[in-house]
Structure 1
């Protein structure tokens, strides 16, 4: 609480702009950004391709032991969030990682796919994976959230992250 008060005072006195929760990511030539609540996450990698047409981010939450990656890239073809999900899922299905309990659904903002992997290389991993797919102005967006050692108590954290994903027009 003290930290928020101090940050608010700094904002009022010095005009420093601080975002408490939502992180914003964009392609420089575009008039929109992808926003997601990464409070508690450590950004491990963030950057644009040399031609500034692709953005990628890797982050993790040490406390929750959750990994997150985000990709924004120019689409190869036109399509909505469902076509975006289908395109990337067709690639993901080819990986050797077993996929169980596959669920596909849509939210207002994204097309989602979730799956589990119970074992890998003979070891129990209880890996859970959620991908949220969005589209905007000819760009396709893939937000991947995953955790090894996933239990039902982690579901709310995954849902909170999913609900925080939005496109903000400038």
Structure 2
């Protein structure tokens, strides 16, 4: 898989995360407090897992004992933290030498078991993990009668990339 494709996938992830968090902030209500707390916990989990694997990629300790935090952050804090993490990942894949994608990373999962994944496998895990949980959150939002924000890669590309008229098919 190319660095260009990874960059596109992480740009899409950042866009979809921001759309979803903005929707959660805009439509939060006391009537659906339990649903919004679940959605916030899922988004926090998504961000914590990103931070854990960023630490693994950098060969540093992450300090987390689980894949979520005991406290539930405010959505505004989570919006900012998620944006920072997403921008870090976009920058990382933009500068990553092609040879590094196959590099094997050894680490310890938060359950204490040893793990080993290639850099590309870690990056794909972060993409698919985020997509999976955004889908769960979309269902929570749907059940609360709020509009589900767009989350499709082609929708992202359509909104953010204009075709080059000089290129022919």
Judge same fold: TM > 0.5, yes or no.
no
Bin of the TM-score, shorter chain as denominator length: under 0.3
Larger relative contact order (C-alpha < 8 A, sep ≥ 6)?
A: 2
- Structure with the higher helix share, 1 or 2: 2
Higher fraction of strand:
1
Question: TM-score, normalising length from structure 1?
Answer: 0.24
TM-score, length basis structure 2: 0.24
